[in-house]
């Protein structure tokens, strides 16, 4: 009577190759063999791993043989999405074939509306990041914010700090979040909240001038509608985030009226796909 199980990551076969975001990166080859007390032996070889950009589609393929029963095999797929999980599988052995499928999810009603997600578990965390659409939650496969910026983190750990982090690599170009990590300590059976302060708008590097000269160093700049603020650096350059497409900048570099000017801007016709747009602006 014995049992042996082997598993080998396929990307280790080519240690110098770059398999970043390649299907082979998280693929494993498996082999197992057993023999029971009656002398019956079984052998099974398989392939398993994860696919897609977020690695939220898992697969498993197995083929083997059992003494006195013949060939056996199975294949399965499971998808973890932001609105739930689905799976399907097929298996066969001597004189039988079986198809399976499953689907599960969670719905949470709260004071801001309704949010769909994966199965909740007894304790969960509601993520609130208004306007942060499609942002991944780190270390929770398939969990991302919906079109309003809400998400459900399922199966939270009770009475301990749960780290809820928004993946900054999935932020849109017009999204600003002052702190993308919150630590939440839920009690048993509760729905805790992780709230993030967000602002939507354009990131811009603007070169400001007045009467043909650069705006003085350390001048203050505020956009009137959004209240976005910043300080002028060298050569009249100022970096602002959360800018609306149209607005007015108020620039101050002194207490007198001569140390103040206004600059209207309209960037609606510019290429807003860039992470940071750059333009010059004359202050009047």
The single residue listed with the structure tokens 């690695």 is 55
Q: Which CATH class is domain 106-200?
A: mainly beta
Structural domain spans, the chain: 2-104, 106-200, 202-282
Q: What is the CATH number of domain 202-282?
A: 2.60.40.2070
pTM over 0.75: no
Per-residue pLDDT of the chain (284 residues; tens, 9 = 90+): 778 888 888 877 776 556 666 667 788 998 988 887 777 788 899 999 998 888 899 999 999 988 877 889 999 999 999 999 999 999 998 888 999 999 999 999 999 999 999 999 899 999 999 989 999 999 999 999 999 999 999 999 999 999 999 999 998 888 888 889 999 999 999 999 999 998 888 889 999 999 889 999 999 999 988 888 899 999 999 999 888 888 999 999 877 767 888 999 998 888 887 888 999 999 98
Could you tell me where the beta strands, DSSP code E, fall in 168-273? 175-177, 181-184, 191-195, 198-200, 202-210, 213-214, 220-223, 229-231, 237-243, 246-252, 260-266
Q: Can you tell me the distance from the alpha carbon of 222 to that of 80, in angstroms, rounded to the nearest whole number?
A: 44
Structure tokens at 259: 């140390």
Say yes or no: do domains 106-200 and 202-282 share a fold.
yes
């Amino acid at each position: 009577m014995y049992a042996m199980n082997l598993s080998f990551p396929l990307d280790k076969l080519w240690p110098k190759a770059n398999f970043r975001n390649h299907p082979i990166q998280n693929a494993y080859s498996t082999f197992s063999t057993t023999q029971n007390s009656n002398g019956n032996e079984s052998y099974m070889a398989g392939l398993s791993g994860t696919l897609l950009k977020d690695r939220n589609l898992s697969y498993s393929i197995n083929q083997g043989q059992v003494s006195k029963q013949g060939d056996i095999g199975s294949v399965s797929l499971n998808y973890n999405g932001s609105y739930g999980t689905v799976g399907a599988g097929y298996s066969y052995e001597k004189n039988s074939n079986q198809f399976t499928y499953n689907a599960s999810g969670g719905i949470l009603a709260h004071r801001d509306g309704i949010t769909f997600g994966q199965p909740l578990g007894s304790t969960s965390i509601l993520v609130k990041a208004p306007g942060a659409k499609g942002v991944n939650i780190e270390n929770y496969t398939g969990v991302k914010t919906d079109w309003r910026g809400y998400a459900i983190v399922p199966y939270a750990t009770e009475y301990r700090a749960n780290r809820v982090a928004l993946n900054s690599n999935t932020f849109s170009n017009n999204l600003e979040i002052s702190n993308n990590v919150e630590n939440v300590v839920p009690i048993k059976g509760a729905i805790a909240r992780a709230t993030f302060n967000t602002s939507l708008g354009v990131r811009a590097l603007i070169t400001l001038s007045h009467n043909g000269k650069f705006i003085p160093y350390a001048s203050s700049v505020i956009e009137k509608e959004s209240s976005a603020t910043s300080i002028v650096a060298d050569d009249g350059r100022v970096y602002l985030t959360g800018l609306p497409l149209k607005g007015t900048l108020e620039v101050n570099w002194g207490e007198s009226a001569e140390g103040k000017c206004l600059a209207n801007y309209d960037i609606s016709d510019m290429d807003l796909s860039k992470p940071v747009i750059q333009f010059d602006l004359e202050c009047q």
